[in-house]
Structure formats: C-alpha cells, structure tokens
Chains A and B, each alone.
Chain A
Amino acid sequence: MLFASSVAEDFLRGILQGLPPGAVYGLIAVGFVLAYKTSGVFNLAFGAQAYISAALFFHARNEWQWNVVVAFTFAVFLVAPAIGLILERLIFRHLPPGSALAKLVIAIGLSVALPHLFELLIGFEPVGGRTPEGLLPNGGGVFYDPFGVYPLSRNELTALVVAVIATALLTALFRFSAIGLQMRAAVESPRMTELNGIRADRVAAFSWALSSTFAGLAGVLMAPRFNTLAAPDYFNLIIVAITAAAFGRLMSLPRALVGGFGLGILIAQVDTFLPRFSANNSWVKAIEDNVTPAMPFIALFLLVAFWPPLRANKDQVDPLSGVDPPPQLPVAVVRTRFMTNLTHSVGVGFLSVVGFVVMTRADKSWVFLVTQAAIISLILLSITVLTGLGGMISLSQGSFAAIGAFTVFQLADRTGMSTVLAAVIGALVAAAVSGLLAIPLVRLGGMWVPIATLAFASFFDAVVVKLPFVGGGDKALIEGTRIPRPVIGPWNLTNDKTFLVFVVLILIVVSAGVIAIRSGTLGRSLAALRGSEVASQSIGVSPVRPRVIAFVISGFIAGLGGALLGMQQENVNYAGNFTPYATLFWLVLVVTLGSRTVEGAIQGGVGFSLFDRIIFRGDLFGWILRDPDRVPGFFPVSAKWRFVLFGLSTIGFAKHPEGLVESGKRKSHERMERRRARREARKSLEGASS
C-alpha cells in the first residue's frame, strides 16, 4: 500500500515537475507553428528573436534601471514586432512563395547573425551566473504547492498561464477573424491573394509582427529558467519546440501547446522512473545521465523519419510561381572558352603567389590560420556535395566531422595506429553513419532533412560525445582528446609547413573529386532530382540511391576534414569545433558564397579562418599603409562582426541563390565579355575600312 501511494505521488510530482518546462516548450512550439503557418518560414531564427527580447528586457531592467512594465512593453511589444517587420520588409518579401529551403537557410543565417548583432549594438555580454529575473516581483522566490508534492514558482506559474491564454487567443484569431484566413492564403500564394483584392504585403507584414511579438513574449517568459542568458541555449530550445510542434503536424496551435506540455511531463516521468543500472559500467552510466535531456531529439528524429502523417505535409506550390523569371545558369556553364581559361589562370596565379608567400614569409600563427582555412574548406566541400549538388541541407556535418576526429583519437590512443590510417578509417566511419542516417531521410520533403539532421546532431552532442568510447569520458576531461601528428616516411608532419602542404594536397584531390562528381552520372542524377523528383523517376533515376550516395560521400569528406582539424590542433576540441550551433556557421558560409562550386567552399574556408585576422584586426590596412601604427583607431573590430556579416549575407540568397561569389563572377564576366566584344567590333571595323 505504501509502495503504491509512493508511486502515485512520484507520478503526480513528475507531472507537476514537467509542467513548467512543458509550458516553455509549448510557448516556443506555438510561436514556431504560428510563424510557419503565417509566413511559410521554418523559422529557426525564432530562438534568436526570443533571445533578443529576453536579453533586452534583462538589460533594460538591470543596466538602465527601467520599470518592469516599460521594459516589458519595449522589449516585447515594440522591439520584437519591429524586428519582424524589418525582416519581412528587407528579406522575406523578396522571396518567392514555396521556396521553403531558401527561407530555412536565411533563417539559419539570421539565427547566427541576429544575437551577435544585438550584443554588439547594445553592448550586451552574457555574464555567467546572473540569473535572469521574471516579470513579477520575486518571481523566483515565491512558491505555491497546492498538492504538497512539488512547489511551482511564481515565474513558472506566470509562464504557464500566459502560454495557455495566448494559445487560446491565437486559435480564436485563426478560427474567427478575416486576417487569420488571409494570413493562411498569403502563405500559399501572395499573388493569388492579391487577385482576391487583398494586399498581400500588408498581410505578410502583420504575420511577421505577430509571430515576432510572440517570440519576444516567449523569450522573456522563459528567461528565468536559464542560469545565464545565452543565445545557444535559445537555439537548442528551438529543436525541443519543433518536436512539440511536430505533434500538431506544424499546423495546429493547441496541439503544439499540448505537445509541449506532453514533452515536459514525459521527460520528468522518465527522469523519475528510469531504472538505475549499475554505475560501474561507465558507458551505460553516460547514457543514463544524458538520455533525459536528449529525449526530444530522439523523439523528433523518430517522428520525422517514421511518422507518415508528418511527411504528407509537403510544400504547397504557388500556382502563380510561373510569373517569376526562371533561374540563371551558373557562369561556368555559359561562359566562353576564353573566359574559362582566363579565370583558371588568374586563380592558379593568385594561389601560387599566396602559396609562395606563406611558405617563405609567414610566421607560425599565419601558417596555422592558412592550414585551418584549407581544412575548413575541405569540410565545407562536404556541404558542396550535399547542398550544392544534392539540393539537401544537413545540419549534422559537425557531427560527421567530429566522428572522424574522435575515431582518430580513439585509434591513436588505444592502438597507437598511425593517424593517417586512422583518419581514413574515421572518414569511413563518418561515411557509414551518414549513409545510414540518410536512408530513412532522403524520401522526406526537402524541409525535413535539415530538421532530422539537426535532431541527430543534437543527440550526438548530448549523448554520443559523452560516451567513453567516443569522447573519452572522464579520462578525456583530465587529459584532453589528444591526437598526435603522423610521420610518413621522410615527411614529418609535426612541422607546420609540411602539414600545410599535406593538407593542401588532400584538398586538391578532394576538390578534383567533387568536380568529377558534379559532371559525372551522380552529379547529373542529383541535378535531375533537384529539378523534379517525379520527372526523374519517369526516366529511371532512383530518388533514393543518388541521394544516399551523396550523403555517404559528404560524410566521408566531413569525417576526413574533422580528422585533419583534430590533427592540426593536436586535439579533437569538440566544444570549440563541432557543436551543432557552431557548425551552423559552416552552412551559412557555403550557401552565402556559393554552394555549387569548389571555389565557394574554399572562399568559405578562407572567410572562416582568415577574415578575422586580415580584415577585422586591421592587418590588411596595416599592410596597405605600410605601417601598423597608421591603422585607423576603430580596429581591431570585434570578431562577432564576422557572424553578423556572413549571417546577414544569407539575405543575398534571396536574390542570388547561386551565391554571392557566383553572382559577382557573373557580373564581372558579363562586363569583360562586353568589353571584348566591343574591341573585336572595332577591330573588324578598322579591318574593313583599311
């Protein structure tokens, strides 16, 4: 009897314990569904928007000493909708409807750029241990305990009540108001909405203002749950929220809220009732300790991969998309032979000069950065294969790279194997994992691949890395995850410059491979599938095989790159190199600069490693002015600008889906072709007259 009552009590406690986090998950899930429903954007930047309002509220209260009501109104009802309106006006209005993938990429760019931009503008720095306060006075200190089993704080109750009321209001808005219907119509086809006599741009602006206000509200309400206000935590919450939103098939607001509560309660129950196995088996313990926070990721992955109703939710195509001009062909396809030769020789010439200078003049730190640029370029090539050629977006490239690096670490640590051989094995393991992951995913609609891979990356981050046979466990905490550099015959790669040559050789081989794939059968099958899956199938192209192979190759390249990065730093350095949030920036770089070409990836690598040093620290200015002392006073510029710059340039993706480099190249080529044509016309004229 005693036993039964204690189980019931535990169960009730689990429910109460799950309510507050459930309310938070529900709030973001509702906001996420709201944004998706009204703007068609899979808004991964929702977390960033929530973070900005929360941090602004926090900053206004603590630094500017504003009154609660004023700070709340300012952060949630002024700044939050203003951000939404700006985003709509500057970016999303210019995107054709239905381009879900483009919108997703831009949202990823924004989730990198916005928090950094905000921090730079306001001068906000996350300070560890300063717990954000809630709306009501002493919200974290007053508790209510109606059942005598688990006390809820005033902050938690506020979030709970607001979540329920806000969801009810929004549901009513959609069910009973004209604007609710108009918002849904405008998502599917702004032009057809206009043909009904409705101003689609105003409707879209209202949608953005509404969902952004909700983001701000959610951000402020959930802030007290964190020890420290920091952007990555908000980003991670988004993944949890997507899980809750998936229960409502991304369409139903009340179900998203229920999904949020359900998830919160489920986690609390599992935490309460999960049997404890022996603590002397270290890897079982690692799983036990980390599986609860990782449950949303597992649930999301399983839902996306194996729950058919979710997949049925494919994009609606705008029937009037034919009004938009067709996309342009890449320059490399349409340019003349002369321009091709010219471009190639300029490229080779430039790289030779850079190579010569680096090998003869560069000091240790420059060699380090150039090597890093080459390795990151290699990793980014994995994105070129998958996104540029395959048209699929994976957010788990960081995990694949980490698998490569960890394999090298484990093999070198346990068997003393040469790290070059270990790197190849690591790349193969990454390729295998990537391929296995791809099998259930590639049949899904375009949008679900990034979400499922993000779920995988989060799971990898939360659980797999902690396993002793992957991340090294407790031992690695003390000794680090060391990777020695190899010696191949006469080559001693502990020498930095020799290692650089080694890396560049690998980069050249892989680049050549990627180019070969692009023009080979695989590249063409992928291009066909990107164009139309149905049409491809009708001419006998399997919709699964080429994509899975693309994943395998991409995983291999990423794994190899990860292994090399570990070798270069002589440590895996997971937290610094490979976390899901950090590696979002990789995708942003490739997509901004050009995902179709090898140059795009290499420029991305250079941008990742060298931009900061060359531009932001003022080294380039110093070199141009021939005197480091004459560099203007505003240098060095904060490295955060790098994220802002590249993050915001994903906006360019709206106008130039081929990438900034590619579109710049097109313009310069057109200019040169015109000049050449004029010169030849003049010559033939002179020839005729003489």
Chain B
Amino acid sequence: MVFPGTNCEHDVVHALDLIGLQPELVFHKETDLTGFDAVVLPGGFAHGDYLRTGAIARFSPIMGAVTAMAATGAPVIGICNGFQVLCEAGLLPGALVANRDLAFICRPVHLRVETSRSALTTGAASGEVLRIPLNSYEGNYVASPETIREMEAADQILVRYCDASGTISDAANPNGSIGNIAGVCNAAGNVAGLMPHPERAVETVLGSTDGIGLLRSIPAFADLVATRP
C-alpha cells in the first residue's frame, strides 16, 4: 500500500521477496484488492502526517478495500506509520502520540513476543526476544485503562519493549508506550500493527534477521485462515 509520503514500501517489497512472497505495490487511489491474500501498510509519512499521523490516510480510496479485507479475516498489517493509519481507521484499538522524550528515535530495540496468535506473530514463540529497528517520532502507544484491560484479556498485545534479556521495564521503554506496548492486534488476530520495522531486520548485513519470523507469519496466518473449517 502506497500513500503519498509512504517511504518504506520498497524495503517491505524487498523483505517479502526474500521470504518467497509475490508483493505488489498498490497506490492509495486504487479501490480494489481482488486477488491479494494480504495487505501491508508500510511506514513513512502518509499525507504528510497532517492533522494527526494517519488521520488523512484513513480516508484514502483504498481504505474501503482494506477494511473489507480485514473483515474477511485476511492478514492486514501496519508497520510504523501503517500502524498509525490502522489505529486512526478504527481497525486497531488505541492511538500513537509523540514519544515521551519528544525525540525522534532511530535505533534497534528489543521486543518480547507476548502471543503467537496474530498474523504477525504466528511464526514467533511467546517469550521470544527479538531485536528490530525502531524509527519514529510518534511511537508512544496510548489507550484508555479499560481498553488495555480488554486487550490483555483478549490476548491482543503482540510485543512489548524489553531489555536484551526479555525483562519489561521503564528503562527498556524507548518512547513511553503504555505497558511498553510495541504492537497490537484486533480481536480476530488478523489485523496487526507494529511500531518497529521487521522489514529492516531480514539480512545479516542489516544487523539482525529477527524480522523474518514476523514477516513469515503473514502467509502462515493466511494459510491458517484458508484452511479453517
């Protein structure tokens, strides 16, 4: 998915190519996603992030088809700015606001996998610690205490910021996200959003290959949905 201002789409295409998928870029003015098994909203600054991050992008023509796809149970993944768009669209709970220290953060962070039930974590084990680059100013996840309680009860929190040993603490929270939350999913698990960039952790030369398991979860989850009785 490419909005005006999206800038991580080629990284995502490269990473999905590497794991053997056949990605195609779709411009936001399209209205049809027929023939696709999954959709990824990559990072960037869709529509300049004017008003709020993702606020204008959620009304792009393609978002009707994205919402329809989400309703079928197919994987709909948002990375960084794509996560913000999915929150604005109401496809994921909560929202993302400016980082606690008002600084743009661009560095690898550690993430602890909390559940393997989503379209982004089917290929990861609960408790596994991943090292993935974070690259954002508005990465601070917020939601009301009731929403957080409901999400925890429904196992909708995918990954939390942690230290290298997997311990969740304030010190390991780069941006102030409530509960160190770095990624969430909807109740069905097929719509998933993640602030760090798994597509930037797919080759040794990039410093980490921990993103591969997350991205491989997308086709694995789609197969699970397809074979569900």
Mutual binders A and B: no
Interface residues in chain B, defined as those with a beta carbon under 8 Å from any beta carbon in chain A: none
